[in-house]
Amino acid sequence: MILGTPALAAAAVLGMATQITAPGDGEFKVVAPNSGVVAVHMSLLPGNKLLLSERFHEIPTEWLGPQLPNGQPNIMFNGNVDLMNFAANSPFYQPNQNLNGFLTDTAEFDLNTMNHTMVRYPAFTGDEGYAFCNGAAQMADGGIMVAGGDQKYLLMYNGQSYTTDGRRDVRIYKNGAYTKVATMAWEPPNKQFSGRWYPTVVGLPNEDVLIMGGHTIYYEPTDPRANNPTYEIYRSSGPNAGKLDAPVALDVLRESFPINMYPITYVLPGSGNLFSLAGNRSAIIDYVGKRETRLPNLPEDNIYPRSFPFAGTNFLEPLTLANKYQAKVWVCGGNTRSAKADGPQWFSNCANCLATAQCYYMEPESEAPKWTGEQMAEARSQPVAINLPDGVVAVFGGSSIGHQGGNAGIPIGGANPTQRVMFFDHREKEPARRWRLGAAAAVPRQYHGSAVLLTDGSVIIGGSDEQNFANQRANPYELRLEAFYPPYFKLENRPALDLKATPTQLGYGQKFIVPFTSDIARNISTVSMIKYGTSTHTMNIDQRMVELEVLHLSTNQMYVVAPPNANIAPPGNWMLWAVDERGAPVVQAATINLRVSNKGPDAAWDDRNDVKPDAGVGVTPDSPTPPAPWDAGTGAQVQNSALPYQRHALASTFLAGLALLAALW
């Protein structure tokens, strides 16, 4: 249900200017000095906790000297003996100082106490362990699947030499511990080129998990053995529970090698099939029928293909009743071919290439899918996008020059970080008005930055391990966590859910009550759910926003319908949000586990408790296309509306004005 705003309705009728009640650009604040590990990979856990993992802290190969630890020649040594000596004696390039007696790349961070706990693996030697470069996804029961990783040879810690290879591992993290549940397919004797480095992991509507793409080995773009253009499905239930299906080949990945890592992939709300983009090629993947339907390629516009290492970011527009849950996929930013590349191939790094502000969007399930272009407010390479509960998308971090890739301490460009948050509001009809810049972060986040939405409506941001971009001898490893507080944090008296009375689990299509701590239900304009996020390398595939239908409201409750099916809202942990007519979300979202097996009886509702909503705020159970937000409740766009976060008006302002006019009359 999308509901109008009383003050905007009155202002539209009387020609009054709307009062700006949520001005500003938001606010950044460093909230923790030490996250335990560099937050290259970040997943939200229940209880306001984070699962974080990093790459090992060690001397970059370029500075390691002419010989590798195994005695082989170091062909990547850059010949700089001064930097070689610096790195050999620097405390930065020693094992992570947070390690406490065992080798790991993972920590759990508690945002309630701002403390971290280092996490052990079941095994961290030989053919198991190292999860850096993994893909991750939220599972139906709230666990995190972590698939694939990297290999490391002869790493010294506590006087012991470690060799660990996690490229074929499938792990589940839950209740503070990893469990290895499967090993991905490989054919002897090709272990060197096997597994998945930089894969995408997607939770499916039926609670299985699909693991897609990646390379078989750390970046070897000229070797076809490095390509892994397939997907495997981990079965969560049934006769093959706990096992992986045989790999299935995909042309969209095969044809886009080597720029096909971390393919952008979303569950489509209409069919439950997958949309996937690798490089500039896109397709719909029917993983049940094992069929692939090609979609239009992105335009050849002098911009590098949009996968790692040249990626911008991507997101789904909110799925609303007004758009009938039609998916619109956005791909934004990346790198132009604006400078001479660092090598001869079309996919060679380009440290001096400028970022682009170019976006493209597509509705993959429309009758005639096509890419449509649009410009962001600022050019960005390697940022990350987050859905906010008021319907706005916020874009964080990135750089204006260079791109992802490189060893820790050896950035590929990245000398110009983009630190201002950028807002996108899909409800604006004019492209130029959809985008604007906000506050600047204190900490730059470029390669290996991450971010997820928290249940209080803030965004937690971490990571980056090339923080020496301005000074080669500085510490490249960023352990600080920074929070972003969107402009709605400045609004007073935000609504609050009665969390003790809110359901903790729901089935699809189930009717339930959204309870509030005060009599403000008639002022609520939208109720929605946002899925818990998993973030890495500009990706946040789990996250999506789904608007809910509201059937009835009383003074302090709303009668709402859970998402219709698992295609629209894949199973797992979701945040329940309610947003008032000013654009202010509740101070704390409820966490609800959504899955088919949770389905229970509908909550009871007594129609005698119904109240009429405020003017422009109404219940429209029979309307398939309720009025767009900020529209005065008439279905027409408000004319001369201000930019995002500058157009929320208080009903009390208008009522006070009426009272004053009455007194004068």
One domain for residues 35 and 17: no
Instruction: Identify whether 201 is part of a domain.
Output: yes
Phi and psi at residue 180, to the nearest 5°: -80, 125
Name the pLDDT band for 656 (thresholds 50, 70, 90). very low
CA distance linking residue 154 with residue 67, whole number of Å: 13
User: pLDDT at position 189, please?
Assistant: 79
One domain for residues 266 and 390: yes
Pairing mode, if any, of strands 590-594 and 505-506? parallel
One domain for residues 482 and 500: no
Instruction: Identify whether 41 is part of a domain.
Output: yes
Its domain, for residue 581, covers: 6-22+493-529+548-567+575-664
User: pLDDT at position 14, please?
Assistant: 24
pLDDT, tens only, 48-100: 999 999 999 999 999 999 998 888 899 999 999 999 999 999 999 999 999 98
Higher pLDDT, 158 or 566: 566
- Angle CA 581–584–588, to nearest 5: 130
Q: What is the DSSP letter of 603?
A: P
| Axis-axis angle for helices 6-14, 651-664 (nearest 10) | 50
One domain for residues 11 and 37: no
Instruction: Identify whether 70 is part of a domain.
Output: no
One domain for residues 11 and 52: no
Give the closest residue to 145 by CA, choosing from 216, 196, 218. 196
pLDDT > 70: what percent of the chain? 89
Name the pLDDT band for 588 (thresholds 50, 70, 90). very high
One domain for residues 516 and 579: yes
pLDDT, tens only, 428-464: 989 889 999 999 999 999 999 999 999 999 999 999 9
Give the closest residue to 396 by CA, choosing from 315, 491, 478. 315
Distances (CA, A) of 517 to 493, 501, 502, 590: 12, 10, 11, 13
Instruction: Identify whether 151 is part of a domain.
Output: yes
Instruction: Identify whether 581 is part of a domain.
Output: yes
DSSP per residue, 200-251: EEEE-TTS-EEEE--BSSSS-TT-GGGB--EEEEE--SSTTTT-BPPPEE-H
One domain for residues 208 and 248: yes
CA distance linking residue 451 with residue 151, whole number of Å: 25
CA distance linking residue 414 with residue 399, whole number of Å: 6
pTM exceeding 0.85: yes
Name the pLDDT band for 619 (thresholds 50, 70, 90). low
User: pLDDT at position 399, please?
Assistant: 96
Name the pLDDT band for 349 (thresholds 50, 70, 90). very high
User: pLDDT at position 432, please?
Assistant: 87
Instruction: Identify whether 465 is part of a domain.
Output: yes
List the CATH number of the domain containing 648.
2.60.40.10
Asked which of 377-381, 514-518, 659-663 is least confident by mean pLDDT, the reply is: 659-663
Residue 575 burial (C-beta neighbours within 10 Å; 0-12, 13-18, 19+): buried
Instruction: Identify whether 86 is part of a domain.
Output: no
One domain for residues 133 and 223: yes
Residue 20: pLDDT above 70?
Answer: no
Structural domains counted in the chain: 2
List the CATH number of the domain containing 459.
2.130.10.80
Instruction: Identify whether 542 is part of a domain.
Output: no
CB neighbours of 613 closer than 8 A, spacing ≥ 6? Answer: 3, 522, 553, 619
Name the pLDDT band for 361 (thresholds 50, 70, 90). very high
One domain for residues 522 and 553: yes
Asked which of 69-73, 330-334, 369-373, 591-595 is least confident by mean pLDDT, the reply is: 69-73
One domain for residues 298 and 188: yes
Question: Given 488, 513, 539, which residue is the final one in a domain?
Answer: 488
Residue 535 burial (C-beta neighbours within 10 Å; 0-12, 13-18, 19+): buried
One domain for residues 398 and 514: no
One domain for residues 500 and 483: no
